[in-house]
Amino acid sequence: MDSIHIAGIRAYGYIGFLPEEKVLGQWFEVDLTLGVDLTRAGETDNLEDTLDYRDAIARTKSLIQQSKFALIERLAAAIAESLLELEKIQQVRVKLTKPAAPIPDFGGKIAVEIERSRKQG
């Protein structure tokens, strides 16, 4: 399957298990791999024949900014579900990173990665 990769979507949100995450918020980063048939767009050079990825970016940022989930796993799933509503996307991989995890003596990043496909039928 063909794919469109979008890396480095950043937005501020209030997702987290700890009370301070829900009040203070934090930055999140998302990388997307969108499974799309690009055959027609490769032939026609028309935007109408491909995915306008501006919509995917806007949906992702909006979910980060407006959601109030406890787990980043739930946010990643919500992003995938929303993107699969777009007609041209058949499959999506979402990598969601929490760059500043509030864990004592840990300066690294936490990320989850999920892959979902459009249900057939």
State the amino acid at position 81 in one-letter form.
E
Specify the pLDDT at position 101. 72
Look at residues 3, 52, 51, 50 and name the one whose alpha carbon lies nearest to residue 31. Answer: 3
Residues constituting the chain? 121
Tally of domains within the chain: 1
H or E segment and range at residue 42: helix 39-44
Query: Minimum mean pLDDT among 14-23, 28-37, 73-82: which range?
Result: 14-23
Specify the pLDDT at position 82. 98
Catalytic-labelled residue, pool 61, 68, 98, 109: 98
Whether residue 19 has pLDDT greater than 90: no
> Would you call 61 a catalytic residue per the annotation?
no
105: alpha, beta or left? (left if phi > 0; alpha if psi -120 to 50): left
pLDDT band for position 104 (50/70/90)? confident
pLDDT band for position 120 (50/70/90)? low
- Phi/psi at 60 (nearest 5 deg)? -65, -50
Give the position of tokens 């990173």. 97
Q: What is the CATH number of the domain that holds 97?
A: 3.30.1130.10
Look at residues 36, 33, 39 and name the one whose alpha carbon lies nearest to residue 5. Answer: 33
Evaluate whether 110 touches 48 at the Cβ level (below 8 Å). Answer: no
Provide the domain limits for residue 34: 3-117
CA distance 68 to 65: 9
